[in-house]
């Protein structure tokens, strides 16, 4: 294995949008030097002032050439930019021998560069936010606990569901407020979802049409599948002797969401890109998350295993947080695990190459302990 490039202690946090929360402040405590890159130096300084970080991080005006010019070997670049911009940033990191981190799903364009990054001794940390991120930690932990209880060689069937959503803490008629790019919200609904239901691989071309009722701690929600769940069967380390009855990763919404969004779905069915883009802007203006609003994040991951020998095991994690005056729940849940992961790049405990959050059960358990100490509260319930 190529030797890891030692971390320099300098972190470049690129972007200061809605998901840039107290994780940035945590890095200001642990990193040797932090630079916040934003559209202009003035806006970067304003973002630091808003978070009480003046003097603790350096404001910078972001352009890729400007960032690249300041990169040194062992620096860490944290991208809070839209996913399509990750690959060019990673290319700059590889060229300058800097590590890379983001909270987004790993894209094909990023995957193509992982061999070069690994060969250069660099860490590429992805999927280290809320969903994806904390959901991975919960799943790894549940699978490890079930494997210990049931046994890898035991024939069994299982049901794994992982649902996450950012919703209004005080429900409105639309059953939603936009806390991230509205175009991204609508775009995700236009992407087919692949999952396992009743033991069969299933594709929902229009994911909202697979919406169903889902109860969490006695409260009714609506959930639908999102993206492609199937690769995560291997990623979570489920034994091949265990056969999935259900395996789905999806999105959680307030009860009544499906009916409230009927007009939106009609537009999505028509498929007019210009009209959908205009609709995204209209909805964002009509249902924004304002400073007076409080958001709520709900992440529920559960695993139920039934062995053919009669053994059963059931476990579930629940994270249910409401934002406050200082920080939204979404910003806290995205930025703190990301900062935790960057901390492990800084202490040189992540290996070169790709890491999707914590890749093993042992590492996931460590991250969960650290998140709990850092104020991200969640509960675990297990029964046999």
DSSP bridge pairs for 218: none
Is 355 inside any structural domain?
no
As for how many domains the chain has, the answer is 2
Q: For residue 288, say if its preceding peptide bond is cis, omega within 30 degrees of 0.
A: no
Is 248 inside any structural domain?
yes
Encode the chain (384 residues) as per-residue pLDDT tens digits. Answer: 679 999 999 999 999 887 888 999 999 999 999 999 999 999 999 999 999 999 999 999 999 999 999 999 999 999 999 889 999 999 999 999 999 999 999 999 999 999 999 999 999 999 999 999 999 999 999 999 999 999 888 899 999 999 999 999 999 999 999 876 788 889 999 999 999 999 999 999 999 999 999 999 999 999 999 999 999 999 999 999 999 999 999 999 999 999 999 999 999 999 999 999 999 999 999 998 888 889 999 999 999 999 988 899 999 999 999 999 889 999 999 999 999 999 999 999 999 999 999 999 999 999 999 999 998 999 999 998
Measured CA distances, 20 to 24, 86, 288 (Å): 7, 16, 17
Is 343 inside any structural domain?
no
CA distance 75 to 70: 10
Is 175 inside any structural domain?
yes
- Judged on CB neighbours under 10 Å (0-12, 13-18, 19+), 64 is middle
Q: Indicate whether 200 and 313 sit together in one domain.
A: yes
Is 339 inside any structural domain?
no
Q: Indicate whether 204 and 326 sit together in one domain.
A: yes
- Of 131, 135, 295, 304, the active-site residue reads 131
> Which residue segment(s) compose the domain that 285 sits in?
134-330+360-383
Q: Indicate whether 169 and 318 sit together in one domain.
A: yes
Give every CB contact of residue 117 below 8 A, 6+ residues apart in sequence.
90, 93, 94, 100, 123, 124, 352, 353, 354
Q: Indicate whether 107 and 165 sit together in one domain.
A: no
Residue with tokens 């070069």: 116
Q: What is the DSSP string of 24-52?
A: HHHHHHHSSEEEEEESSHHHHHHHHHHTT
Give every CB contact of residue 366 below 8 A, 6+ residues apart in sequence.
358
Q: 293 catalytic, yes or no?
A: no
Last residue of a domain, one of 70, 101, 126: 126
Q: Indicate whether 115 and 252 sit together in one domain.
A: no
- Judged on CB neighbours under 10 Å (0-12, 13-18, 19+), 380 is middle
Q: Indicate whether 21 and 161 sit together in one domain.
A: no
- Phi/psi at 212 (nearest 5 deg)? -145, 165
SS (H, E, C) 150-195: HCCCCCEEEEEEEEEEEEECCCCCCCCCECCCHHHHHHHHCCCEEE
Q: Indicate whether 212 and 280 sit together in one domain.
A: yes
Q: Indicate whether 151 and 226 sit together in one domain.
A: yes
Q: Indicate whether 263 and 366 sit together in one domain.
A: yes
Give every CB contact of residue 260 below 8 A, 6+ residues apart in sequence.
173, 174, 175, 176
Is 344 inside any structural domain?
no
Is 38 inside any structural domain?
yes
Contact 304, 159 (CB under 8 A): yes
Is 63 inside any structural domain?
yes
How much is the pLDDT for 326?
87
Last residue of a domain, one of 107, 126, 145: 126
Q: Indicate whether 205 and 97 sit together in one domain.
A: no
Q: Indicate whether 91 and 240 sit together in one domain.
A: no
CA distance 366 to 157: 28
DSSP character for 353? E
Alpha-helix residue ranges (DSSP H) falling in 166-308: 182-189, 231-235, 257-260, 262-270, 273-286
Last residue of a domain, one of 76, 110, 126: 126
Q: State the CATH number of the domain containing residue 15.
A: 3.40.50.720
Q: State the CATH number of the domain containing residue 143.
A: 3.30.360.10
Contact 19, 330 (CB under 8 A): yes
Q: Indicate whether 93 and 203 sit together in one domain.
A: no
């Amino acid at each position: 294995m190529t030797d890891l490039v030692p971390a320099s202690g300098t972190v470049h946090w690129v972007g200061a949008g809605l998901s840039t929360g107290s994780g940035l402040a945590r890095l200001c405590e642990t990193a040797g030097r932090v630079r916040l890159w934003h559209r202009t130096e003035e806006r970067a300084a304003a973002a630091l002032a808003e978070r009480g970080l003046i003097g603790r991080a350096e404001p910078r005006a972001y352009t890729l050439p400007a960032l690249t010019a300041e990169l040194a070997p062992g620096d860490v670049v944290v991208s809070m930019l839209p996913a399509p911009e990750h690959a060019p940033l990673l290319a700059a990191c590889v060229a300058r021998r800097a590590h890379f981190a983001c909270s987004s799903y790993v894209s094909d364009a990023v995957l193509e560069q992982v061999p070069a990054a690994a060969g250069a001794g660099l860490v590429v940390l992805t999927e280290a936010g809320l969903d994806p991120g904390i959901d991975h930690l919960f799943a790894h932990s549940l699978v490890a606990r079930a494997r210990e209880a049931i046994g890898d060689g035991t024939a069994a069937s299982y049901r794994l569901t992982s649902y996450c959503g950012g919703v209004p803490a005080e429900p409105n008629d639309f059953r939603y407020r936009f806390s991230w790019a509205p175009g991204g919200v609508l775009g995700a609904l236009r992407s087919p979802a692949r999952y396992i239901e009743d033991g069969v691989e299933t594709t929902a071309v229009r994911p909202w049409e697979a919406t169903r009722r889902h109860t969490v701690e006695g409260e009714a929600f609506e959930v639908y599948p999102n993206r492609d769940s199937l690769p995560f069967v291997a990623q979570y380390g489920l034994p091949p002797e265990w056969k999935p009855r259900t395996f789905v990763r999806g999105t959680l919404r307030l009860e009544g969401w499906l009916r409230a969004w009927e007009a939106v779905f009609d537009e999505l069915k028509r498929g007019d890109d210009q009209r959908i883009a205009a609709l995204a802007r209209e909805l964002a203006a009509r249902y924004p998350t304002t400073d007076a609003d409080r958001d709520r994040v709900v992440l529920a991951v559960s695993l139920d295993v039934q062995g053919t020998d009669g053994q059963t095991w059931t476990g579930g994690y629940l994270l249910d947080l409401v934002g406050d005056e200082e920080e939204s729940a979404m910003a806290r849940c995205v930025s703190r695990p990301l900062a935790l992961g960057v901390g492990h790049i800084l202490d040189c405990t992540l290996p070169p190459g790709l890491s999707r959050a914590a890749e093993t059960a042992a590492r996931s358990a460590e991250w969960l302990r650290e998140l709990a100490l850092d104020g991200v509260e969640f509960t675990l319930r297990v029964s046999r």
